[in-house]
Amino acid sequence: MRAFYYLAMLMAVAACDSGLDMQPAVVQWMEWPAEVQVAMPFIVRQVMSFPSCHRWVFKPAVSADQSAVTFAPYFLVERGEPVCLPSPAAFDVFPVPFLGLDTVSTAPGLATTLARTFEMRATAPVSAATPGPGPGDTPVRTFGDVTVRLSNPDPSRQNAGGIVRMSVDIGGCVRLWPGGFPGYVGAPTGLVLEDQADTTGLNYAFVRGYIHEAATPVCGQTRVFHLVSRN
């Protein structure tokens, strides 16, 4: 973690010398395989807002140790006068694209001599006790965990966690939208909640759970989100 910290410091200095500022990204949603093969890298989906008033370059920045995989992504943001796009709420006739970054990053392979779990962490939109590994010590939060298998990992589940917005469609179906972003053109796809009755306190809550194929369709869909915890 210390090496990662100094690397981030050097990046910050380089940004200052190139007319760019370093701005920590705030991860609002993550998805990743529930089980992975030992020492094999794996793909993690992330949803976050971006500095829409400036030109920017995204840097994923990920590290791993004996207990966790930690994402501390950031943006290199061009200095100068901001030129802001209108927010989606400003449009009442024509749809607008999703004004958020929905991207994937690669987590490093995890070394272990027996099957075990590692925490999945990222810079988060809420305070947490764990400091971040970069300049300013941006707080990180545990989004869930990943199980590392020596062989034959089960690919049937995707673990997921983060801030969600709850919506109910015209048919009464409850969906969760990653990152709290509203459901308009180009936004991340909403997830059908597996237990349609378990909705107390879900709107803008930080949730943990997994995505899987249900044996019985819910709201006409079998790909659903199973809620494990919320706060």
- The residue-averaged pLDDT of 47-62 equals 86
What is the helix (H) or strand (E) element at residue 36, kind and residue range?
A: strand 35-37
Number of other residues whose CB lies within 10 A of the CB of residue 148: 22
Least confident of 33-37, 48-52, 126-130, 222-226: 126-130
Assess if residue 165 is contained within a domain. yes
Same domain as 58, residue 27: yes
Structural domain containing residue 113: 2-79+96-149
Q: In what order do the strands lie in the sheet with 20-24?
A: 20-24, 74-78, 56-59
Domain count, the chain: 2
Domain end, chosen from 88, 121, 149, is at: 149
pLDDT for 210 beyond 60:
yes
Query: pLDDT band at residue 73, thresholds of 50, 70 and 90?
Result: very high
Residue 172, SS3? coil
First to last CA, the chain: 28
What is the helix (H) or strand (E) element at residue 2, kind and residue range?
A: helix 2-17
Assess if residue 196 is contained within a domain. yes
Q: What pLDDT score was predicted for residue 228?
A: 98
Same domain as 171, residue 208: yes
